Structure 1
């Protein structure tokens, strides 16, 4: 029983980090990043998925939270690419402004 407590604590901490916070990833705190993050929260795909959330169905809510997060990150990256801001660590070249 004593061995289960640390394992349970690790599982809880791991689960908390799955969905991330409500802002740009760490190290990306520029005006362009903040603007794209705000724009991504209002992307059409994100709003459509948010309307499908059924708070009475836990499975539906959990699944849609993941899909909404993916859609938001996709919209965020597309916004950055459209503004000419490259992704860190990638092979994509920057477009001239």
Structure 2
């Protein structure tokens, strides 16, 4: 009885440590102003972002990883461009490194 309980607690603790959640979107934090919120929405609906999400193949892991990365970059690029058009400086002040 004690062994089963200990094993159960160990498995429960291990399960709590595991995380199957994907990396958060660069736009996941709370909006700073209504303009930021509008730019986030515009970035998610940007034609380049939509085109990339339509190319995802759920059966191909390499395709998913590549497109997830490219989608995050396209969304961030569209968000920053919207902020620039509205005269707002992007949070952080430093543009993302391009490879």
Pairwise CA distance, 1:89: 4.6
Partner secondary structure for residue 59 of structure 2: coil
Partner secondary structure for residue 77 of structure 2: helix
Counterparts of 2:80 and 2:45 in 1: how far apart (Å)? 14
Provide TM-score, normalisation by structure 2: 0.65
Pairwise CA distance, 1:88: 3.5
Q: Which ranges of structure 2 fall in alignment gaps of 5 or more residues? A: 1-16, 95-99
Provide TM-score, normalisation by structure 1: 0.66
- Which one has a bigger Cα radius of gyration? 2
- Asked if the contact 1:24/1:37 (under 8 Å) is kept, the reply is no
> Which residue of 34, 37, 44 maps to 2:37?
34
Query: Are residue 57 (structure 1) and residue 87 (structure 2) matched?
Result: no
The two structures, once aligned, show a CA RMSD in angstroms of 2.6
Pairwise CA distance, 1:21: 4.2
Query: Are residue 20 (structure 1) and residue 24 (structure 2) matched?
Result: yes
